[in-house]
Amino acid sequence: METALLFLVFNRPRQTAAVFEAIRQVRPSKLYVAADGPRENRPEDVELCATVRRIATAIDWPCDLHTLLRPTNLGCRAAVTDALDWFFGLEPEGLVLEDDCLPDPSFFPYASELLERYRHDRRIMCIAGAKPVDAAPDGAASYFLSIYTMCWGWATWRRAWMLNDPSLAGLDDFLARPAFPGQARSAAASRRWEERFRQVRDHGLDSWATVWTFACWANGGLTCVPRSNLIKNIGFGLEATHLRDAASNFADMRRESLEFPLRHPSVIAPDGRYDEEVSSVFYQIGADDLESVDVALARNLAMREADAQHRHD
């Protein structure tokens, strides 16, 4: 595989070994491994982190290996953000896998093809490998569009990641936009996301993915979602940072495969039915006062294009 890949690891040897084997099968020509360091109050982390690093760098194929091995623990939000900054500082685009995101083999060519196809399309900011709910649009397209980033195995470009702002400096202006309720499909979802964004900005909530969601929404960016789920999250359990409920329905998501050649959607617009199900089932947000996300995102993109044209003129 010629597309660069970032592998994010920490202290879970079993999961790391499973995901590394999936990576090994596609033999990426460029592999970036970023490892957070052991926690001060967890002495067992020292050996676990060392074991994980040995597993994740055991290259037995022709490969340009880059490593970012932290001596101390930064925490999930800082470590992942820092690793992504490092990766996209060196690569214009690439795939991203965390140590608990086990991909189907078809994830790699799917994400690589869409990276090339939408390389210069500012409407698309993220390519997801996971599809956590059943809803999908009618038709034969291999993938569709969503407002939700879903970063369990994903890909993006430097041009998109450079819009990620960990400080959420533009949050107040974003929340003042009339389009915001539609961004999250409903008034209930808008309230939930506003609260979450404020927790990240004002109270240090340890979630890099929430910051990435904000970046995509603030810039009118959409995510490509495969018609079949290509990622199994094997990280649920007490040792996880966030996904501690091993009995969760999402802990046993079945991996499927995509058929090739890919069939591309004829329209670039989010699928409302899928987004509503993600909101209500995955994020467990009540649905009320539905707004048109299509109109909201179109308005945001039009605002960006008008601003860009004004600067050009």
Give φ, ψ of 195 to 5 degrees.
-60, -45
What is the Cα–Cα distance from 294 to 33, expressed in whole angstroms?
37
pLDDT at 285: 81
Residue 295 pLDDT greater than 50, yes or no: no
Report whether 31 contacts 66 (CB < 8 A).
yes
pLDDT at 184: 55
Report whether 271 contacts 134 (CB < 8 A).
no
Among 156, 148, 230, 226, which Cα is nearest to 189's? Answer: 148
Residue 299 pLDDT greater than 70, yes or no: no
Mean pLDDT calculated for residue range 278-291: 68
pLDDT digits (tens, 9 = 90+) for 112-131: 999 999 999 999 999 999 99
pLDDT band at 82; cut points 50, 70, 90: very high
What pTM, to 2 d.p., does this model score?
0.86
pLDDT digits (tens, 9 = 90+) for 10-47: 999 999 999 999 999 999 999 999 999 999 999 999 99
Domain 1-99 adopts which CATH fold? Rossmann fold (3.40.50)
Domain boundary assignment for the chain: 1-99, 102-313
pLDDT digits (tens, 9 = 90+) for 181-213: 445 557 778 888 999 999 999 998 889 999 999
Query: Alpha-carbon Rg of the chain, whole angstroms?
Result: 19
pLDDT band at 180; cut points 50, 70, 90: low
Mean confidence (pLDDT) of the chain: 87
Mean pLDDT calculated for residue range 67-96: 98
pLDDT at 44: 97
The two three-digit tokens of residue 59, written as one number: 């290259």
Highest-pLDDT range among 62-71, 133-142, 189-198: 62-71
